[in-house]
Structure 1
Amino acid sequence: MSSSEKRTRRKFTPEFKGQAVKRVLSGHAVAAVARELGIGESLLHNRVTRHRLTDAAGEVQAEQAAEIARLKRALAQKEEEAAILKKAMAYFARESR
């Protein structure tokens, strides 16, 4: 390729990328899938790695969201209990006078 020729960058659809990653995750070799699709092995390997990382992060985020929701419910219950005890203290303080 001469210096005057520009190489155009190929753009792949999200569906194409997803299908390529799914094929690798289902057990096909990265090299074979890359060769069949006409893309570089390193490109496909990077996409698979990125997919695995985002999936792991997604699982962690879902677990954290569930834990946050549980803690918020527990906090609301404790705040309600504290408010009831505060009212009871005020009531009994008036009674003892």
Structure 2
Amino acid sequence: MSSKRYPEEFKIEAVKQITERGYPVSEVSKRLDVTTHSLYAWVKKYGPDKDQHQAKADEQAELKRLRKELARVTEERDLLKKAAAYFARESD
């Protein structure tokens, strides 16, 4: 199944039909031969609440990065604890 690529102007115009002109997503979907899933994604990206959605996406990305960093630091800490215990036994 190949997915179509649509220009950004096309996406913005499709979103305007939904947000400004009040057409239902299902109707715009049928008329433009685009999936409703794509239209909802475009509304999030190009719609009136795009700044709010972008801020949430940025927060999600930052949270993911911080969790990954925490896992790495925790692993390093555990390794250093084991090394310290090993060398403490060796020095006795």
Residue aligning to 2:48: none
Asked whether 1:92 is paired with 2:80, we answer no
Question: Cα distance, 1:51 vs. partner?
Answer: 2.1
SS of aligned partner of 2:89: helix
Is residue 30 of structure 1 aligned with residue 23 of structure 2? yes
Of 4, 17, 20, which aligns to 2:13? 20
- Structure 1 residue 44: Cα displacement: 4.4
Paired residues in the alignment total: 74
Q: Deviations over 1:61-91 (max 9, x none)?
A: 762x444322210111111111211121112
* Structure 2: tracts of 5 or more residues without a match: 1-5, 46-52
- TM value normalised by structure 1: 0.49
The equivalent of 2:79 in structure 1 is 83
Could you tell me which residue of structure 2 aligns to residue 35 of structure 1?
A: none
- Residue 22 (structure 1) shift: 3.1
TM-score normalised to structure 2 length:
0.50
Q: Which has the higher contact order (CA 8 A, sep 6+)?
A: 2
Task: Give the percent of matched residue pairs that are identical in Structure 1 and Structure 2.
Answer: 12
* Contact 2:17 2:23 (C-alpha < 8 Å) held by counterparts: yes
Contiguous gaps of at least 5 residues in structure 1: 1-12, 32-39
